[in-house]
Amino acid sequence: MKNCISHKGLVGGFVLFAFLVSAVTIGFTSQSSALSSQFKLESSTPEIQSSELFSISIILDSSSEPVNAVIANVTFDSSKLEFVSVENGGSDYPLTLKQKISNGKVRIVRGSVENKRLEDALVASITFKPLVGDGSTALKVSGNAAFSGRYTNPLSASKNYNISGGEEKYTEDDILVDLHDDSTKITNLDVEFNRATINLSNKEKRRAFVELGFDKNNLAITTRKYPASEAHEIDIDRTSLVPGTKYFYRIVTENKEGVLIGTKTKSFRTKGYRLRLKLLDSAGQVLRNKKVRMFSDPVTGFTDDNGEVVFEDVAPGHHTVVYAQNDKTFSENLIVDHAPVKTAVNGVQTAEPQDVDVKFASLEVDSSRNLGSLTAVLIAGVIALAVYGLLKNRLARNKVIVDESNSSDEYRQ
């Protein structure tokens, strides 16, 4: 392939750039369309198990009209579901333009240089973890789509899901929490990225299970009940655990009289990803020897002479990186991928480290930042549109013949 950009790809690139720059900051302007596209939500099951992660796919049916950029806004009940990650692998819109996670909302902006006219185009997939043991919840997706300046307003979609906790349910009144009961002891706790094994011993034969959760006052995840025995090895499988996450748990045993006895609540943290950040200022210069904090779980580190800082046991999902200089605070968001882990024969799990460059804006984090960013982006959009107009007129005057064999996918950002 030639190491150049065709006229077709250049013009298409400027069009896409101008459109996307304005769309990312101020949103699409809806216009009526004779043929409507529509969003869909797809999942493997309408049932959500409280002990398992849950994923949905955002689909855009645009078979009636071409689309090369999409904004998808997914809303959810943050008291029942917690955002874990966005997976973009296999998306029919491969360009990640913006991704923002706020309380109860995930905003995804994606694009493609190619023209997409697909019946079921995958925009992205989102993974959640349940926060309750039982109940129901709804997910909704809405947004916009566009092609070459023509904006459409795809029909929104919503779906209800039932949350179920498993085979057998107990209330707090069923369980006697006896902090002085030493008949059950934990002999070993082995924690990896997405699994954990708890070994325990009893002075008498008892049935046993484990309750755990993200909140010590809401242990919504329950393992299966193990048969009566004096020793148990209880496995918490990979569908229940998220890397780099703190869990609270307690052991519940049932004696021969049928009395359920719970231990004192304890906690463990799963192994997480190794995250190596390289911090850059607005001019692209490395930020050396800076104190850095990363949230949501606050952790602190210091950059080295290369502007790099490493954090261990990081959970997937949305994080914020903050540093201060000259009484000013600077902040940027990043996404840690929910990457696959490898399990050795002995059960030990490992994962590849993740490297992320974080470039901080030149403005201090305050209310003026949004206005300044919006102004700059609008100016960039106007300039891009002007350049496109000049190119179009020049091509028309010179009657340039465009080589149709040069596909627009030669354009690379």
Domain 172-269 has CATH 2.60.40.10: yes
Q: Which of the listed CATH numbers 3.50.50.60, 3.40.50.2000, 2.60.40.680, 3.10.20.740 matches domain 31-164? A: 2.60.40.680
| Residue 189 confidence (pLDDT) | 92
Which of the listed ranges 140-154, 161-175, 330-344, 381-395 does the model predict with the highest average pLDDT?
330-344
For 356, the token pair is 């992320």
d(Cα 310, Cα 166) in Å, to the nearest integer?
39
pLDDT confidence of 86, banded at 50, 70, 90?
confident
pLDDT digit string, tens, across residues 319-339:
899 998 888 889 898 889 888
Q: How many CB atoms lie within 10 A of CB 222?
A: 22
| Residue 85 confidence (pLDDT) | 82
Give buried/exposed letters for 332-350 (b at 16+ CB in 10 A, else e).
bebbbbbeebeeeeeeebe
Domain boundaries, the chain: 1-28+369-413, 31-164, 172-269, 273-365
| Residue 410 confidence (pLDDT) | 34
Second CATH level (architecture) for the domain 273-365:
Sandwich (2.60)
| 31-164 matches 172-269 in fold | yes
> Helix, strand, or coil here: 164?
strand
Comparing 186 with 19, the larger pLDDT belongs to 186
* E strands present in 237-367: 246-254, 260-262, 266-269, 273-280, 291-295, 299-302, 308-314, 317-325, 328-336, 342-343, 349-350, 354-359
| Residue 94 confidence (pLDDT) | 84
Is residue 404 pLDDT above 50, yes or no?
no
d(Cα 247, Cα 255) in Å, to the nearest integer?
26
pLDDT digit string, tens, across residues 255-271:
888 888 888 889 999 99
- What pTM was estimated for this model as a whole? 0.53
